[in-house]
Amino acid sequence: MTLIRLTGDGDDSERDAGVEIAERMFLDALSAVEAITEKIRRQELDALREMPKAASEAGAATRQLLTEKNRVLEQKKRTSGLVHGFAIDFDAARAEIGRRLARLRAAGGG
């Protein structure tokens, strides 16, 4: 029997729409934080009041992104037969069983 070690996130084309939305939210929140930071650099200190909300949105978007990504990875594991980072190659297992049975038949003289 062959065990296949699966690594990586898989093909980008298979990614869930929720991950795409969460990524966009994350990038939008980071853009807002960057814009406010730039205002503060220009000493537009009224922008300081906007920072907590933007930082909170960036944090929420990050949590959403990680949650969606983990959900997609767990779903891929369930559908691929992945157990503890390994998947069983049933075709190779079938072929190995067939070879062993053939050897037993040959050794048994029958």
For residue 64, the model assigns a pLDDT of: 82
H helix runs in the chain, sequence order? 17-41, 51-80, 90-107
Q: Is the model more confident about 105 or about 18?
A: 105
Interacting residues of 37 by C-beta distance below 8 A, sequence separation 6+? 51
Which residues, in sequence order, are bridge partners of residue 2? Answer: 89
Mean of all residue pLDDT scores within the chain: 76
pLDDT at residue number 99: 93
Cβ(68)–Cβ(22) below 8 Å: yes
Residue 49 CA to its chain's centroid (Å): 35
Using alpha carbons, select from 53, 65, 67 the residue that is nearest to residue 23.
Answer: 65
pLDDT band at 101 (very low <50, low <70, confident <90, very high): very high
- CB–CB of 3/88 below 8 Å? yes
* pLDDT, average across residues 67-86: 74
Q: In the chain, what is the greatest distance between 2 CA atoms, to the nearest angstrom?
A: 92
pTM over 0.85: no
When mean pLDDT is compared across 11-15, 18-22, 41-45, the lowest value belongs to: 11-15
pLDDT at 6 over 60: no
**Residue 98: pLDDT over 90:** yes
